[in-house]
Amino acid sequence: MNAALAGLHHVTAIASDPQRNLDFYVGLLGLRLVKRTVNFDDPGTYHFYFGDARGTPGTILTFFPWPGARRGVRGAGQVAATAFAIPEGSVGFWLERCQAQRVRVERAPARFGEEMLRLADPDGLPLELVVTAAALSAVSPAVQPWAESTVPAAHALRGFHSVTLGPLGGGERTAALLTEIFGYQRVREEAGKRWRFAAAAAGKEGVGRLVDLLIAPEDSPGHVAAGSVHHVAFRVADEAQQRAWRERLLGLGYHVSPVMDRTYFRSIYFREPGGVLFELATDAPGFTVDEAPEELGTHLRLPPAMERERAQIEQILPAITLPRA
């Protein structure tokens, strides 16, 4: 029997211009760039990891910025929105901040009683900022806002609130995967529109514990490119659990990748029945495996096997500047 999954680990999306991507997530949203590396499958491209001060699992949004990448097409079989938690009393701050920087933002109707804002990143990636009660705000030790952020700690994003999936063909099969296999519980429902699931193993205050499914049958399948989420990763405690998960998923008929060494975690990938690429990622070793906590994100880090090509890689990668507070 596998231990239930403990919520979201990270979300990976596709961007176009790397500097514009940094300016938005560090300069506007105030996240920390916790790792500046390359796409291990395409080392001429950056891989940026944004998160809290330490890159805590459940706070990490990562990007492959491909300069000139075309925009994706929104539709079924995709992540419809990625939501960050914000503290109570921060809606006004975020509305004003986005408007001052000419980023389109709108106050959306409360969902399940939670106030929220809707915006998109420069590539059109749909984002939500959801006011999350005290559990996830200043008192939670799970998320540590970055002291050098461009955003005051009182208003800092507190990791993922949820992702909303828009599965192909309605949500039934994805829902079954979440509840019967992943150990999630169905906790809320918006009749005929949306189901909400919570990772019981994440605990009530756990960061990134929610997954929403849009259950209204979607029109046509989307196409993943710039402005789309590429995959959603869930947390497994360690490599032994990951191996057990791999065996179990293979036994259920899923096509599961071999274990991949992503330097900061180990990963397996498979496609869920609604069409979204899922990953199970280990908490360890984390982002301080090759950089001191105070240095996170300041230098280009490469896996040991790519160090020999560092000069070449650095020449290909576009120059970037980290926004400062």
**Residue closer to Zn ion, measured from CB, 91 or 125:** 125
**Residue closer to Zn ion, measured from CB, 62 or 137:** 62
H-assigned helices in 142-235 = 172-176
Work out how close the CB of 11 gets to Zn ion at its nearest, in angstroms, rounded to a whole number.
Answer: 8
State the CB neighbour count (10 A cutoff) for residue 283.
15
- Closest residue by Cα to residue 82 from 58, 99, 65: 58
Told to check if 233 binds Zn ion by CB under 5 A, we report yes
**Residue closer to Zn ion, measured from CB, 64 or 195:** 64
Residue 145 near residue 245, CB atoms below 8 Å: no
Residue 63, judged by CB atoms within 10 A of its CB (0-12, 13-18, 19+), counts as buried
**Residue closer to Zn ion, measured from CB, 27 or 51:** 51
**Residue closer to Zn ion, measured from CB, 130 or 233:** 233
162-179 b/e (C-beta count within 10 Å ≥ 16 → b): bbbbbbbebbeebbebbe
DSSP states of 88-117: TT-HHHHHHHHHHTT--EEEEEEETTEEEE
Residue 281 near residue 8, CB atoms below 8 Å: no
User: Which region, judged by CB under 5 A, interacts with Zn ion, from 14-22, 46-54, 272-280, 292-300?
Assistant: 272-280
- Closest residue by Cα to residue 86 from 23, 33, 134: 134
Told to check if 9 binds Zn ion by CB under 5 A, we report no
Number of residues that bind Zn ion (CB under 5 A): 3
User: What does the alpha-carbon distance between residue 153 and residue 216 come to, in Å, rounded to a whole number?
Assistant: 38
Sign of CA dihedral 194, 9, 136, 291: negative
Amino acid 228 reads: S
Told to check if 279 binds Zn ion by CB under 5 A, we report yes
**Residue closer to Zn ion, measured from CB, 149 or 267:** 267
Work out how close the CB of 193 gets to Zn ion at its nearest, in angstroms, rounded to a whole number.
Answer: 28
User: Which region, judged by CB under 5 A, interacts with Zn ion, from 31-39, 164-172, 217-225, 274-282?
Assistant: 274-282
**Residue closer to Zn ion, measured from CB, 12 or 242:** 12
Work out how close the CB of 253 gets to Zn ion at its nearest, in angstroms, rounded to a whole number.
Answer: 23
Work out how close the CB of 159 gets to Zn ion at its nearest, in angstroms, rounded to a whole number.
Answer: 16
Residue 34 near residue 55, CB atoms below 8 Å: yes
User: Which region, judged by CB under 5 A, interacts with Zn ion, from 11-19, 154-162, 282-290, 304-312?
Assistant: 11-19
**Residue closer to Zn ion, measured from CB, 83 or 229:** 229
User: Which region, judged by CB under 5 A, interacts with Zn ion, from 92-100, 143-151, 187-195, 226-234?
Assistant: 226-234
User: Which region, judged by CB under 5 A, interacts with Zn ion, from 6-14, 82-90, 249-257, 306-314?
Assistant: 6-14
Work out how close the CB of 5 gets to Zn ion at its nearest, in angstroms, rounded to a whole number.
Answer: 14
Told to check if 45 binds Zn ion by CB under 5 A, we report no
Amino acid 22 reads: L
Told to check if 12 binds Zn ion by CB under 5 A, we report yes
User: Which region, judged by CB under 5 A, interacts with Zn ion, from 81-89, 201-209, 232-240, 249-257?
Assistant: 232-240
Q: What is the DSSP letter of 8?
A: E
User: What does the alpha-carbon distance between residue 46 and residue 199 come to, in Å, rounded to a whole number?
Assistant: 31
**Residue closer to Zn ion, measured from CB, 169 or 303:** 303
Q: Which tokens in the block code for residue 7?
A: 């919520």
Work out how close the CB of 60 gets to Zn ion at its nearest, in angstroms, rounded to a whole number.
Answer: 9
- Looking at the DSSP bridge assignments, the partners of residue 107 are 117
Binding residues for Zn ion, rule: CB under 5 A, are 12, 233, 279
